[in-house]
């Protein structure tokens, strides 16, 4: 098991690497507003858990295991964001912010149900527009 802090970091690492951008410790520090020292420790913990390969200045690489972890979290993140934003009508940033927290505690099976339900709603509630205050 991985803590929610580490989940955030591996998620960010994967998101960058999968886009071909390389990511440095300092980027993580900036993104989450924590010190470089804390990131240094966190990266060591992630490497201990075989989710990344970390060799300081040589850069951060993600392992296959790390990719699997990251994808799980990103899947949760995306499904929650879409549900909050497109179905509940919450504004995008707010939906995203809540997804960022819930993704660390919600079970996968429930996420699947939310996803199925989102699809269902899109097919069945087109006419009955639930919320109108969706500002994006």
Partner DNA sequence: ATACTATGTAAGGAAAGCCTAACAATGATA
Partner DNA sequence: TATCATTGTTAGGCTTTCCTTACATAGTAT
Least distance to DNA, CB of residue 6, Å: 6
Question: Whose CA is closest to 117, among 84, 74, 70, 93?
Answer: 84
56 binds, among DNA, a second copy, none (CB under 5 to 8 A by kind): DNA
Binding flag, residue 36, DNA (CB under 7 A): yes
Q: What is the DSSP string of 62-99?
A: E-HHHHHHHHHHHHHHHHHHHIIIIIS---HHHHHHHH
Report residue 11 as tokens: 């998620």
Binding flag, residue 50, DNA (CB under 7 A): no
Q: What does the DSSP 8-state code read for residue 53?
A: E
Please give the residue ranges that form the binding site for DNA (CB under 7 A).
3-6, 24-26, 29, 32-38, 40-43, 45, 54, 56-57
Please give the residue ranges that form the binding site for a second copy (CB under 8 A).
84, 87-90, 94-95, 97-98, 101-102, 104-107, 109-110, 113-114, 116-117, 120, 124-125, 128, 130-131
């Amino acid at each position: 098991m991985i803590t929610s802090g580490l989940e955030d970091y591996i998620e960010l690492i994967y998101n960058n690497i999968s886009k071909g951008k390389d990511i440095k410790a300092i980027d993580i520090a900036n993104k989450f507003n924590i010190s470089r020292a804390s990131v240094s420790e966190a990266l060591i913990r992630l490497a201990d858990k075989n989710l990344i390969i970390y060799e300081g200045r040589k850069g951060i690489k993600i392992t296959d295991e790390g990719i699997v972890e990251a994808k799980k979290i990103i899947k949760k993140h995306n499904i929650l964001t879409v549900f909050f934003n497109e179905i509940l009508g919450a504004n995008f940033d707010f939906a995203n912010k809540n997804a960022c927290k819930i993704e660390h505690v919600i079970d996968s099976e429930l996420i699947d149900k939310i996803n199925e339900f989102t699809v269902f709603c899109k097919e069945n509630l087109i006419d009955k527009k639930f919320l109108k205050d969706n500002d994006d």
